[in-house]
């Protein structure tokens, strides 16, 4: 890994662990083994390096999601594969956690990749939900709810100190979703709330 990559990866780890304020230039230099002169050769300052680190985390999240969404099986299989991805739950989401950081949210440049990532994820899930349900459900609203469950699951799991809480949240969301798309007859009869009648 070259110097620039070490700086970005170190900043990513520290942002995830400590947030923006706790990610000082000295901490980044100590974690990366890169001196101050080299750091400022590659980045104008902490904000520029943080932006590169957040962009990298966002790219990684999208790449992992895309791999699951492009996998084999039905649309429901691919949605399930995404929600069942291995995650470091007790560390929280490296992107979602930034929404709790007032310094990141107050800076439009740092906030942008966070907002764009969640918009992208919601859009991709909505596309798959429309495919899975043949437009029997409000795909956009349901996708938003699923992203909220995933992110809220991190919060509940961290509060409880247990990964099991996150797993239960995902199990519950997927179970509810399966009810929406599994039975065309139920959907036609409107037995499930939120179903669009044909």
pLDDT > 70 in the chain, percent? 91
The Cα–Cα gap between 124 and 73 comes to: 16
The Cα–Cα gap between 31 and 27 comes to: 6
The secondary structure of residue 87, as a DSSP letter, is -
Query: In this predicted structure, which of 37-51, 81-95, 109-123, 130-144 has the lowest mean pLDDT?
Result: 130-144
Q: What is the pLDDT of residue 178?
A: 87
| 160-179 tens-digit pLDDT | 999 999 999 999 999 988 88
Alpha helices in the chain (DSSP H): 3-22, 25-32, 36-42, 46-69, 75-83, 102-106, 108-133, 139-160, 163-181, 184-189
Q: For the chain, give the mean pLDDT.
A: 90
Tokens of 2: 């070259």
* Domains in the chain: ranges and CATH: 57-189 (1.10.357.10)
Place of tokens 């492009």: 70
Instruction: Provide the pLDDT confidence category of residue 134 given band limits of 50, 70 and 90.
Output: confident
| 72-84 tens-digit pLDDT | 999 999 999 999 9
């Amino acid at each position: 890994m070259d110097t620039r990559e070490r700086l970005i990866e170190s900043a990513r780890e520290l942002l995830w662990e400590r947030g923006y304020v706790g990610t000082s230039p000295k901490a980044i230099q100590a974690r990366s083994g890169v001196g101050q002169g080299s750091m400022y050769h590659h980045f104008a300052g902490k904000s520029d390096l943080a932006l590169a680190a957040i962009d990298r985390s966002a790219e990684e999240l999208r790449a992992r999601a895309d791999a699951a969404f492009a996998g084999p099986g039905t649309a429901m299989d691919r949605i399930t594969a995404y929600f069942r991805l291995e995650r470091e739950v007790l560390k929280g989401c490296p992107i979602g956690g930034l929404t709790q950081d007032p310094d990141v949210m107050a800076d439009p440049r740092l906030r942008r990749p966070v907002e764009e990532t969640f918009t992208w994820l919601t859009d991709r899930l909505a596309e798959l939900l429309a495919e899975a349900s043949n437009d029997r459900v409000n795909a956009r609203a349901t996708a938003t709810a699923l992203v909220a469950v995933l992110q809220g699951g991190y919060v509940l799991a961290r509060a409880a100190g247990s990964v099991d809480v996150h797993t239960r949240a995902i199990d519950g969301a997927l179970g509810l979703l399966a009810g929406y798309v599994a039975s065309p007859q139920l959907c036609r009869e409107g037995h499930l709330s939120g179903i669009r009648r044909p």
